[in-house]
Amino acid sequence: MKSRQPLGLDANVLGRFDAIVMAIAGSAPAYSIAASTAVLIGAVATQGPAALLYCGIPMFGIVWAFMYLGKMQTNAGASYAWVGRSLHPALGYIAGWALLVASTLFMVAGSLPAGSVTLALFNPAWGNNVTLVTIVGGLWFLVMAVMVLIGIRITTRVQWMMSAIEMAILLLFVLLAIIHSTVAARIPFSWSWFSLTRFHGLSGFAAGGLVAAFYYWGWDVSANLNEETKDPKKLPGQGGVYGVIVLFLLFEFFTVATNMTLTTKVINANSGDVLSVLGQQIWPGVGGTLLAFAVMLSTIATLETSLIQVTRSLFAMGRDGTLPRVFGAIHPRWRTPWIASIVVGVVALALFVFSNFVGSVSTIMTDAINAIGLQIAIYYGLAGLAVVVAYRAWLFRSVANLVFIGLWPLLGAIFMFWLLVQSIGGLGTTTVIIGMGSMVLGLIPLAIYWAKGRPYFLQPPLQPMASDIPNDPVEMAD
């Protein structure tokens, strides 16, 4: 009698454009601008464009790292699997745990604007009602959890619709903001906003960089979907590259537009959704509503991608036995990690309801964004180091290898770790406890499953082959 093979994820579902859409939706451009602009302005004032630029450059190093690590191994755990086999299993576990914690915290923070923006579309006063925000935000989260649970095919269709509308609205306002800036800008454009010398020392630059990292974070969901993507060693990498290019341009443009249009007082008074206020200034009467709708779609879309990231990571860790094996269970019809999806949904929803009744909206958003920034720095930094170590024998065989697999990812890793160290000293006690305390908790299951001798902790190092290295660094984007 033949033994039955365990079910895997639904393979060969996502194409090239699906991977790009997922990468963009993972970073949620409209949501990131709406929810993070006030935090960024609070950290660096008008130097937001500079923070996004000087964080964006090393962030591309991490994009290259994910691209080349993905060439070596297809695994839904992404950085958890790659770092574990390139650097050390314990570091891989920490990378995986950092993503789990960051995604869970984000689902808590992201459900908040999902509820408040939806309600504000009907009645602005409702958007400040904690009880209503909690109910509506929780309902949106449950809808997305069900989408993720019942299959990647329906999840992708829903994501396409939401992201297409969001991007159409954002691009429309790119054009409108250009027109507005020529006739009614509050202050004129200044290249000094991109200057590296106008931050308040290294601590000010680090504070801005940590928030900027949160803006970009999420594009790597395309990597966690590699087992469900056609040509899994190439297309997820393309999704990350193209996705971050689009995100960089959008973030820079809208941050500059904010500097030219809104005062600090207005930004602080509308910290939960700066983008809608910007839209109202650019197109009075209609603009605010349209961009609020874009923020709602963006928030809902990124709740979906966050659920995908955390459930695929839990699936990979459950499959390896480095967390309870039940997380590796696949639903026979939907081909999704259904138990992981249910557990994550219950935990995140409970944390969301609790957090909404223990602090103000602005406090919750600021603490969550900064705490998530710490975890992003950890697992992105480890991935940047991992690709350098994994491909070390190939780095000096061409200039392209040295730049795109060596120096640039190494710069990204150094920048991420520097952000981590610099930021911890300047953050509040609550943020540090949330950000680093949650990471320390991960050492407990790490020790337990390592002591049990799981095969993950005994795997041989990844060995890239010649076929893993394109002759041209842009070959992956062809």
The CATH code of the domain that includes 143 is 1.20.1740.10
Range of the domain at 357: 18-460
Residues 35-58: what's their mean pLDDT? 91
Number of domains the chain contains:
1
pLDDT of residue 477: 47
pLDDT of residue 1: 39
pLDDT of residue 107: 85
Question: Is 469 part of a structural domain of the chain?
Answer: no
Tokens (6 digits) for 68:
């080349």
Question: Is 176 part of a structural domain of the chain?
Answer: yes
pLDDT of residue 313: 97
Task: Concatenate the DSSP letters of all residues of 401-449 into one string.
Answer: HIIIIIIHHHHHHHHHHHHHHHHHTTS-HHHHIIIIIHHHHTHHHHHHH
pLDDT tops 60 at residue 228:
yes
CA distance linking residue 206 with residue 316, whole number of Å: 33
Question: Is 465 part of a structural domain of the chain?
Answer: no
Q: Is 430 exposed, middle or buried (0-12, 13-18, 19+ CB in 10 A)?
A: middle
Helices 48-72 + 408-424 axis angle, to 10: 130
Where do runs of H (alpha helix) occur along 283-407? Answer: 287-320, 338-355, 361-390, 399-401
Question: Is 478 part of a structural domain of the chain?
Answer: no
CA distance linking residue 393 with residue 112, whole number of Å: 47
Residues 184-211: what's their mean pLDDT? 87
Question: In this structure, are residues 247 and 24 in contact, taking their beta carbons and an 8 Å threshold?
Answer: yes
Question: Is 472 part of a structural domain of the chain?
Answer: no
pLDDT tops 70 at residue 190:
yes
Residues 224-249: what's their mean pLDDT? 96
The tens digit of pLDDT for each residue in 261-285 reads 998 888 888 877 788 889 999 998 8
pLDDT of residue 384: 97
pLDDT of residue 256: 93
Dihedral (C-alpha) 392, 394, 399, 402: value to the nearest 10 degrees? -20
The tens digit of pLDDT for each residue in 313-365 reads 999 999 999 999 999 999 999 999 999 999 999 988 888 887 766 655 556 55
Instruction: Provide the percentage of residues in the chain whose pLDDT is more than 90.
Output: 61
Question: Position 376: which residue type?
Answer: I
pLDDT of residue 473: 52
pLDDT of residue 207: 84
Question: Is 471 part of a structural domain of the chain?
Answer: no
pLDDT of residue 364: 58
Question: In this structure, are residues 170 and 33 in contact, taking their beta carbons and an 8 Å threshold?
Answer: no
pLDDT of residue 7: 74
Q: What angle do CA 210, 213, 216 make, to 5 degrees?
A: 160
Q: What is the largest CA-CA distance in the chain?
A: 78
The tens digit of pLDDT for each residue in 133-152 reads 889 999 999 999 999 999 99
Residue 85: what are its φ and ψ, rounded to 5°? -95, -15
Question: Is 193 part of a structural domain of the chain?
Answer: yes
For CA atoms 288, 289, 292, 294, give the dihedral sign: negative
Q: How confident is the model at residue 431 (pLDDT cuts 50, 70, 90)?
A: confident
Where do runs of H (alpha helix) occur along 151-286? Answer: 152-184, 201-216, 221-224, 235-261, 264-269, 274-282
Q: How confident is the model at residue 474 (pLDDT cuts 50, 70, 90)?
A: very low
CA distance linking residue 112 with residue 362, whole number of Å: 10
Q: What is the 3-state secondary structure (H, E, C) of 90-154?
A: HHHHHHHHHHHHHHHHHHHHHHHHHHHHHHHHHCHHHHHCHHHHHHHHHHHHHHHHHHHHCCHHH
Question: Is 100 part of a structural domain of the chain?
Answer: yes
- Report the 10 Å Cβ neighbour count for 358: 8
